[in-house]
Amino acid sequence: MSYVDAGYAVGLSVLVLYAIGLVVRRRSLERAVELSLPPSDSADGAAETGGASGP
């Protein structure tokens, strides 16, 4: 494997792995927040934005 290939491989794989890590962290935190929202809070939630509907 040439140095060029190694460079591209290292660069891209680190970026991809970090990106995946970010997405995973975000998803688990969103789930945690959703779970901890008590039912009486849905009034606040609805007033603000109307629920999670993002991409």
Partner 1 sequence: MSVRPEIPSAAAPRPRWLRIVGVAAVVSTAATVWLGLWVTPPDKIQGNLVRLVYLHPPIAWVALYLAFGLAALSSLLYLWRRTRSLFWDRLAAASVEVGVVFNALTLATGMLWGRPTWGVWWTWDARLTSTALLLVLFVGYLALRRVPADPEVRARRCAVAALIAFVDVPIVHFSVIWWQTLHQGATVLNSNLSPTIHGSMAWTLLLGFIALTLVFVWMVGVRYRIEVLADRTDAEHLEVSLAERWAEGDLDIAAIAAIAATNASNGGTGASLRPPTRVGP
Residues in the site for partner 1, rule: CB under 8 A?
2-4, 6-8, 10-12, 14-15, 18-19, 22-23, 25-26, 29-30, 32-34, 36-38, 40-41, 44-45, 48-55
Instruction: Give the DSSP letter of residue 39.
Output: G
Shortest reach from residue 23's CB to partner 1, in Å:
7
φ and ψ of 38, to 5 deg: -70, 155
Whether the Cβ atoms of residue 52 and residue 33 lie closer than 8 Å to each other: no
Shortest reach from residue 44's CB to partner 1, in Å:
7
Shortest reach from residue 47's CB to partner 1, in Å:
9
Tokens of 18: 């970090």
Tokens of 35: 């779970």
